Amino acid sequence: MESKINESGVSAKVCAISWERIHLRMQLAIEQEKDAVPLDQMDVFAVDKNGEAGVLFDTTLLENGRLELYVNITNNGLHKCIPVGTYRIFVCHGNDVLAECETDEELTQRLADDSRAFLYGGQTKEYTVNFYVEDDSDSLPFRMHCMHLSYAKIGFPYLTSFFATEKSIITGFLKNTRRHIRKIYNFLYNVKKNKRKNHVLFMTEQSNTLGTNLVFLEKRMRERGLDKDFVIHTWARKFSDGDHGTMSWIKLANLLASSEYVFIDDHVPMFDWLQLKDTKIIQTWHAGAGFKSSGYSRWGHMGGPGPVSCHRQYAYGLCGSRKIAHFFSEVWGINTERVLNTGMPRMDEFQDPKHREMMTEKLYQEFPLAKGKKVILFAPTYRGRSNRDAHYPYELIDWERLDEVCGDEYVVFFKMHPWVIVDIDIPEKYRSKMVDVKKYPNINDLFYITDILITDYSSNIYEYSLMRRPMLFFAFDEIQYSFSRGFHRPYRESAPGKVCTTFGELMDAIEKKDFEFEKVEDYVETQFDHFDSDACDRVIDWLLLDKMPKDIRDRIQKKDKRMKRIRTTDFSAFAEVKG
């Protein structure tokens, strides 16, 4: 890039900074002597002291004549956080740098307030984005400083004996399982790298059985006879169960080294520290599109990922609609163009009329109390941080009031989240109208005979919405949940039904049939691009058989080409001279 700052007649000031979780926006006021360059043709880069670009901002021309800059700080377009460094903001056109951004005088007093710190790593590490004005200048040069910080002891260091230190080093090396697994994987990859073509692995570390998305994809591949062209592997292991033994790790490393494609259905802890080589990882996330924050949408909250994690390795992710792809890309820290609106594989069976007819008949046989009645399905998510402390406050349920509302019209199924440790204890006197169905394997089947769904922040609304029946949201802890877990979209605006904060309000809504049902159709329109049973075929065709639609492929290539400019644009002439 060539400097035209002194002759361009262009000046730029940062006038406003705003945040929405991990999304940073800044407004630029740009003045030109000749208005030679349209604002929407300008490129804006963040460039560090070494003359390396860290961000190529997305830009939007605002009605007030300003240019809005946007970046997700957890994904600068290269599937990584904005790198550590102190950045100047350059306004460019073609190969010319037209201006370096100054700071608006009114903004200078608010820069500290506009800075942000995001905790991660069990609250022992921090990623910060600070704004300030460069010192020792006649003007107000704008600076953005990004830094990773970690816990450090406060106090004087103390000495240990030489032999104690030596022993700890040796013990640490021997116990460093991850180091050894990485070495084993690298060795196996080098042995198998020329024999991996068309090897597909369906993998989960969340359970000892494959999740539904993976099961249906594998089944469909075999139905189409693709097991003749592809070698299909499966792996299911509940990572949280603890030590799995040396042979288990070696077997998994061998499968990963052998596979060209790896389909997963959730976070894989191993991929946080093992980087796969020349492998396409496809995330088929089982959770659909609920409200609660996950992955990088939890950046800064307890339990959020670090800057480098499993999510960074995804080649693609799946979703149901292009309109919601940005929610998924935020969770995974990847570009929205790589979230493919194939639909969710598990929905193929759910939307199959024959399956629905068969399962409805079976359900009435298994739960005869539902015959001739309307079914209320009570299916909230868990409270707690993990499957080790998951719970639900059953004391909020007013059994007598619920029984009164049921009358002769309703029965109630309680389907608690599988992580909830303590099962619901329905009082004996109400068991003729209420039943615990937690052990029923597939909640989607229950939706066929459900007339009202009661949930809170769960993603089960995704499938149920296709029934086009009422939903109620029992969000007694909405405020607390928003702070502890966080939402990645406005809860009350997005919930496809009435939100209730007390059990009494919930019961009143059922009695009065006050469901705000009109929200359901809006939700369905937003969440689904396909209303068929062909999601598995789209995934297989697009990703394994190289038949991705041209418009989708073009968008991906266009985005990749634009982001490549972060790596390839030469700002070396603007590197600060040291010494």
- CA end-to-end span of the chain: 24
Q: In this structure, how many other beta carbons lie within 10 angstroms of the beta carbon of residue 404? A: 11
231-243 pLDDT tens trace: 999 999 988 777 7
Q: How confident is the model at residue 289 (pLDDT cuts 50, 70, 90)?
A: low
pLDDT at residue 548 above 90? Answer: yes
Q: What angle do CA 541, 234, 462 make, to 5 degrees?
A: 60
pLDDT at residue 89 above 90? Answer: yes
Q: CA–CA separation, 576 vs 566, rounded Å?
A: 19
Which is it for the CA torsion 75, 79, 82, 84, positive or negative? positive
For residue 489, the model assigns a pLDDT of: 65
Question: Can you say whether residue 284 is alpha, beta or left, with left for phi > 0 and alpha for psi between -120 and 50 degrees?
Answer: alpha
Residue 392, classified by CB atoms within 10 Å of its CB into exposed (0-12), middle (13-18) or buried (19+), is buried
- Structure-token pair, residue 299: 């950046």
Which is it for the CA torsion 267, 491, 438, 463, positive or negative? negative
For residue 579, the model assigns a pLDDT of: 41
161-216 pLDDT tens trace: 656 556 565 555 555 788 899 999 999 999 999 999 999 999 999 889 998 899 99
What are 11's strand-pairing partners? 31
Question: Per-residue pLDDT averaged across 518-539, rounded?
Answer: 93
Q: How confident is the model at residue 487 (pLDDT cuts 50, 70, 90)?
A: low
Question: Per-residue pLDDT averaged across 560-574, rounded?
Answer: 95
Average predicted confidence (pLDDT) for the chain: 91
What are 2's strand-pairing partners? 96
For residue 52, the model assigns a pLDDT of: 96
Q: CA–CA separation, 283 vs 328, rounded Å?
A: 10
Residue 256, classified by CB atoms within 10 Å of its CB into exposed (0-12), middle (13-18) or buried (19+), is buried
Sorted by where each begins, the domain ranges of the chain are: 2-153, 178-348+546-562, 353-527
Q: Which residues, 6 or more positions from 236, have their beta carbon under 8 angstroms from its beta carbon? A: 203, 204, 207, 208, 209, 210
Q: CA–CA separation, 343 vs 321, rounded Å?
A: 7
For residue 282, the model assigns a pLDDT of: 98
Q: CA–CA separation, 244 vs 514, rounded Å?
A: 51
Q: Among 276, 335, 283, 333, which Cα is nearest to 306's?
A: 333
Q: Look up residue 323 and give its DSSP letter.
A: G
pLDDT at residue 224 above 60? Answer: yes
Could you give the percent of the chain with pLDDT greater than 70? Answer: 94
Q: In this structure, how many other beta carbons lie within 10 angstroms of the beta carbon of residue 384? A: 14
Q: CA–CA separation, 331 vs 344, rounded Å?
A: 17
The superfamily (CATH) of domain 353-527 is: CDP-glycerol glycerophosphotransferase, C-terminal domain (3.40.50.12580)
pLDDT at residue 73 above 80? Answer: yes
Which stretch of 189-193, 303-307, 484-488, 494-498 has the lowest confidence by average pLDDT?
484-488
Q: Provide the 3-class DSSP secondary structure of residue 48.
A: coil
Helix (H) or strand (E) holding 264: strand 261-264
Do β-strands 261-264 and 280-283 pair in parallel, antiparallel, or remain unpaired?
Answer: parallel
Q: CA–CA separation, 95 vs 98, rounded Å?
A: 9
For residue 484, the model assigns a pLDDT of: 61
Which stretch of 133-142, 375-384, 385-394, 492-501 has the lowest confidence by average pLDDT?
385-394
Q: What angle do CA 178, 266, 319 make, to 5 degrees?
A: 140
AA identity, residue 140: L
| 314 touches 281 (CB < 8 A) | yes
CATH architecture of 178-348+546-562: 3-Layer(aba) Sandwich (3.40)
Could you give the percent of the chain with pLDDT greater than 90? Answer: 74
Question: Per-residue pLDDT averaged across 250-269, rounded?
Answer: 95
CA 227 to chain CA centroid, nearest Å: 31
For residue 577, the model assigns a pLDDT of: 60
Q: Look up residue 456 and give its DSSP letter.
A: S
For residue 441, the model assigns a pLDDT of: 87
Q: What are φ and ψ of residue 363, in 5° steps?
A: -65, -40
What are 280's strand-pairing partners? 261
- Structure-token pair, residue 332: 């995974």
For residue 245, the model assigns a pLDDT of: 83
pLDDT at residue 307 above 80? Answer: yes
- In 73-137, the DSSP E strands lie at 85-93, 96-100, 102-103, 116-120, 125-133
For residue 430, the model assigns a pLDDT of: 95
- Structure-token pair, residue 414: 């309680």
Q: Provide the 3-class DSSP secondary structure of residue 432.
A: coil
pTM over 0.75: yes
For tokens 């499968």, the residue is 255
Q: Among 386, 549, 528, which Cα is nearest to 463's?
A: 528
Q: What are φ and ψ of residue 131, in 5° steps?
A: -120, 140
Q: How confident is the model at residue 123 (pLDDT cuts 50, 70, 90)?
A: confident
pLDDT at residue 257 above 60? Answer: yes
Q: CA–CA separation, 569 vs 188, rounded Å?
A: 37
pLDDT at residue 432 above 90? Answer: yes
Question: Per-residue pLDDT averaged across 488-499, rounded?
Answer: 82
| 540 touches 226 (CB < 8 A) | yes
Q: Look up residue 577 and give its DSSP letter.
A: P
Q: Among 493, 500, 410, 504, which Cα is nearest to 454's?
A: 500
Q: CA–CA separation, 125 vs 475, rounded Å?
A: 32
Question: Per-residue pLDDT averaged across 272-300, rounded?
Answer: 85
Question: Per-residue pLDDT averaged across 565-577, rounded?
Answer: 91
* Two domains, one topology: 178-348+546-562 and 353-527: yes
Which is it for the CA torsion 175, 176, 178, 179, positive or negative? negative
